[in-house]
Amino acid sequence: MDITDYLYWRGDLSFKNDPFNELDNILFAQICYMEFEKYFKDEKSLTIMELADRYFEGKDIDQYTNDKNVVKNKDSLFFMMALSKRFAFCKVHHCVSKIHNDENLVEKFAAMMIDLDDGSTVVAFRGTDDSLIAWKEDLMLSYRDIASQYDAVDYVNRNCRFWRKYRFVGHSKGGYLAIYAATHCNYFIQRMIIDVYSDDGPGLKKDSYDEKKYERIKNRYKLIVPVKDGVGTIYEMARHKKIAQISVFNIFAAHNMLNWQIEGNHVLEADKNAYETDLSRKAIIQFLKDTSIEQRAIFVEEFFRALTEMNISNFSELPKAGPVALSKIMSRMTKMDEEAKSTVGKMIRAFTGNISNDLQKTISMSTDQLKNRFFRRKEEEKIKGEIVEDDDGN
């Protein structure tokens, strides 16, 4: 089962009748990627139904109204939410977005708030999209603070109220912003936070946060990561962590929440040992352990300079570049010492080797699914045949 099954199963129940859960968190973190800010005119708030009316205006909606086997994406998900009793009348407001990309400042920040019928408000922070700006800001977290984290705190302090209950959510970098803002926001607002959900988001880097303030919020901080984890394992610090089973067995697809498996109103938990022993995850942990802040800064700067030289504008284009990209990136690591270069090389080799293993597992899983479907169909035909024979009196 996936998140669309939840919408079919619980979409008719209000938040008053069926309290907020971790799948609601995933849905709000997902639609936060949609650029709703441009659909507001003079209104201070719009319901999800009203936003959907503007968002889908002039579009062919047939692709969103097919059965549940339609290719899942954030547009289809949003369309289903707009048609459900649970989400249609939730009010969206305070949508903001800002982008900076120059030598002095690299930032991509966006957030929104959603009022629920149970009297609480969801504060959702946008995560990392496919742009190089967003990914560079993400990787910068390995060695320095980023502008978005301060904007997240300012956003909360300016827009939240002392008397209303809040839930902070976010995916990837959005999850990081959620816990950072919850840790450093005004004390009276912090007291009103029910939960902080981070969906495969990194934790807070040591020396980048106030430990005393974090102590007040840590028991409300909930981290959900996929069993193939490449982001949530960075500076992991959550006391409450859940490992989600996935439907596509590779590290890039695993980061997409739409590939997480569910059961009822929660994610389906995966085998903890598979998570702990994953090679890509271990390579990231080793990289952070064996490199200095200065070496990580050099790696990130040279990494993105190499991508720019290859005219790569989106992160998803990187796998297509193949060995040429890896060679180009490694050739730019000249400023790193031999030990650091060796660490980076090991990490890249671990990733490429693991991706190959994942591909084989995905093929194996797909083959097994086809076999199961074939034998299930044969079994159904056999049962039907027996029923027909009984009806004929034989």
pLDDT at 375 > cutoff 70: no
Average pLDDT over residues 125-144: 80
| pLDDT-above-90 percentage for the chain | 46
Residue recorded with tokens 């005004």: 186
Cβ-contact 122, 116 below 8 angstroms? yes
Pairwise pLDDT comparison (169 vs 334), residue with the higher score = 169
Residue type present at position 115 = D
Indicate whether 145 pLDDT > 50. Answer: yes
> Residue 286 has what pLDDT?
83
Q: Mean pLDDT lowest for which of 49-63, 197-211, 310-324, 351-365?
A: 351-365
When pLDDT is cut at 50, 70 and 90, the band that residue 120 belongs to is very high
Using a 10 angstrom Cβ sphere, with 0-12 exposed, 13-18 middle and 19 or more buried, the burial of residue 288 is: middle
Helix or strand holding residue 159 (H, E):
helix 147-159
pLDDT > 90? residue 66: no
Instruction: Report the alpha-carbon distance of residue 211 to residue 222 in Å, rounded.
Output: 17
pLDDT score of 191 more than 80: yes
Report the pLDDT value the prediction gives residue 121, as an integer from 0 to 100.
98
pLDDT computed for residue 278 by the predictor: 81
If pLDDT is split at 50, 70 and 90, which confidence band does 366 have?
Answer: very low
What kind and span of H or E run contains 267? strand 266-267
More confident residue, 191 or 327: 191
Q: Can you say how many angstroms the Cα of residue 188 is from the centroid of all Cα atoms in its chain?
A: 28
User: Of 168, 219, 179, whose CA–CA distance to 202 is shortest?
Assistant: 179
Across residues 200-227, what is the average pLDDT?
Answer: 94
Q: Which residue type, as a one-letter code, is found at position 245?
A: Q
Q: pLDDT: is 285 or 52 the higher one?
A: 52
pLDDT tens-digit profile of 263-310?
999 999 998 888 887 877 888 888 888 888 888 888 888 878 877 778
| Average confidence (pLDDT) over 6-21 | 93
Contact call for residues 168 and 217 (beta carbons, < 8 A):
no
| pLDDT above 50: residue 148 | yes
Question: In the prediction, which pLDDT does 53 show?
Answer: 95
Span 350-356, average pLDDT: 56
Phi, then psi, of 120 in degrees rounded to 5: -100, 170
CATH fold label, 3-271:
Rossmann fold (3.40.50)
Task: Please state, in angstroms and rounded to a whole number, the distance separating the CA atoms of residues 301 and 106.
Answer: 12
Q: pLDDT tens digits for 30-48? A: 999 999 998 998 889 999 9
- Read off the pLDDT of each residue in 69-93 and give the average, rounded to a whole number: 86
Mean per-residue pLDDT of the chain: 83
DSSP annotation of 237:
-
What confidence tier does 394 reach under pLDDT thresholds 50, 70, 90?
low
- Give this prediction's pTM: 0.83
Of the listed ranges 3-7, 92-96, 241-245, 337-341, the least confidently predicted one is 337-341
pLDDT bin (cut points 50, 70, 90) of residue 240 is very high
CB 193 within 8 A of CB 220: yes
> Is pLDDT larger for residue 367 or for residue 126?
126
Task: Give the residue extent of every domain in the chain.
Answer: 3-271, 278-394
Among 29-33, 85-89, 276-280, 385-389, which is the least confidently predicted range?
Answer: 385-389
pLDDT at 76 over 80: yes
The pLDDT assigned to 67 comes to 47
Q: Is 367 helix (H, G, I), strand (E, B) or coil?
A: helix
Q: What is the pLDDT confidence band of residue 373, given thresholds at 50, 70 and 90?
A: very low
Sheet holding 120-125, edge to edge: 45-47, 91-101, 106-115, 120-125, 165-171, 193-199, 221-226, 240-244
Instruction: Identify the pLDDT of residue 41.
Output: 87
Identify the residue with better confidence: 160 or 346.
160
The answer to whether residue 219 scores a pLDDT higher than 50 is yes
